[in-house]
Amino acid sequence: MDLSYGTKYEAFRQEIEQFLDEHSEKAPKGFGMLGGMGSDGMVAWQDLLIKRGYAARTLPKEYGGYGAEPDLLETVILDEVFTERGIARGMSGQGASMLVPTLLEHGTEEQKREWIGPTLRGEVLWCQGYSEPGSGSDLASLQTSATEDGDDFLINGQKIWTSTAQISKMMFILVRTEPDASKHSGISYVLLPMDTPGIEISPLKTMTGNAEFNQVFFTDVRVPKANVVGKRGEGWKIANTTLKHERNMLGNATQIESTLNRLKAVLRSESVNGVRPIDSPVYRDRLARLEARVLTMKFHSLRLLTCNLKKESPGVAGLVVKLQGCQLNYEMAALALDVMGEMGVLYKRAKYERAAGYWQFQYMFMIGLIIGGGTAQIQKNIIAERGLGMPREPKTVQEAR
């Protein structure tokens, strides 16, 4: 049986392989949310990938993409080759993976032209100003206000858990512009420069030892009304578009498969009581169970891509990736630490630390991502209510307002 994709596509594969043979040493190293983000190396690598059509491949040329026609097999091959080499296929993050598709759907022509290109190229980093101290899962209860002042809004309030705020040039922020409207109405989605006077950023350290997120305080922060995306007071719809893309980013099957390949290498190279973990039935069984789930995610992602190309809604299939993907990332890191034994607890440049602490970092960071972008419990509510059509959770009188 011939399982190759045919001459045209095999030539495409060879072209990518040759490109990576010649250029892969330019790919930025580092891991985690801050790993390499915004660095010159990252910007140059991203620029090269877009020029070759390996990143932002199907995004319109006029907004800074490569402008290719969507082709399922080309996407599959690109993912396969980059994943085999353990190299990220282009920049991800709140800007490229979440804001760009939101602007393509809801932005004005000016907003698209101003922000999509620089964001894709990694020149402008974005952070997401959604959560507040009293508004996480119940995001629509947010209280940060934006009051009118001529052609501007004045923003006052506080956001929390804002990842990468300390290095971001821009924030997409949810603010309440109509305080008397019902909870889900009266919210606006605004593009806010982070160097505007009145913004104060206070880092929050996580158990990884790094300050990956922040509290952000706003005192009379002036922003033009023209920076609202979509209609004023109708930001809840726009916010949900971004959340959909956030779920897809956090459950990205290519990244998960790449982590699995790395995990297999650990099971081949470590030794437990003189036996390679890959040769131990206990560890191999755990690996096989994880691999089955990773492959399920991979084929599921092709199904989603097909729906996307046909402009069909994937329905419940599109809602499960974040829940599954974040849990899998965490469990893969847990297996890596287990097979490292006592070395698994070393961290932060300890003498016998493996892979510069990559797995230790993954273990501590990925448990957070089971919460970030909507907790596992909330994902299950969404799957049940929006995906499976089960009865909605009863609301308290206050929540229903």
The catalytic site residues sit at 246
Question: Which residues bind to ligand FAD, rule: CB under 6 A?
Answer: 127-131, 136-137, 161-163, 213, 368-369, 371-375, 377-378, 381, 393
The pair of structure tokens assigned to 333 is: 């890191």
Residues counted in the chain: 401
CA distance 241 to 222: 25
- Do β-strands 126-129 and 170-176 pair in parallel, antiparallel, or remain unpaired? parallel
Q: Are 124 and 37 in contact (CB under 8 A)?
A: no
Which residues, in sequence order, are bridge partners of residue 135? 132
Measured from the CB atom, the residue of 287 and 326 that comes closer to ligand FAD is: 326
Q: Nearest approach, Cβ of 343 to ligand FAD (angstroms)? A: 25
- The nearer residue to ligand FAD, 123 or 385, going by C-beta atoms, is 385
Q: What is the DSSP string of 177-238?
A: S-TTS-TTSSEEEEEEETTSTTEEEEEE--TTSS--EEEEEEEEEEEEGGGEESSTTBHHHH
Which CB sits closer to ligand FAD, 65 or 95? 95
Task: Give the residue with the Cβ less far from ligand FAD, 78 or 171.
Answer: 171
> How many whole angstroms separate alpha carbon 76 and alpha carbon 79?
5
Q: Which residue lies nearest ligand FAD, judged by its C-beta?
A: 136
Determine the Cα–Cα distance for residues 60 and 117; give it in Å rounded to an integer: 10
| CB contact at 8 A, 172 and 126 | yes
Least Å from the CB of residue 170 to ligand FAD: 13
Q: How many helices (H) and strands (E) does the chain have?
A: 13, 8
What's the min distance (Å) between Cβ of 165 and ligand FAD?
A: 8
Nearest distance in Å: CB 173, ligand FAD: 9
- Residue 373 C-beta: closest distance to ligand FAD, Å: 6
Q: Which residue lies nearer to ligand FAD by CB, 20 or 378?
A: 378
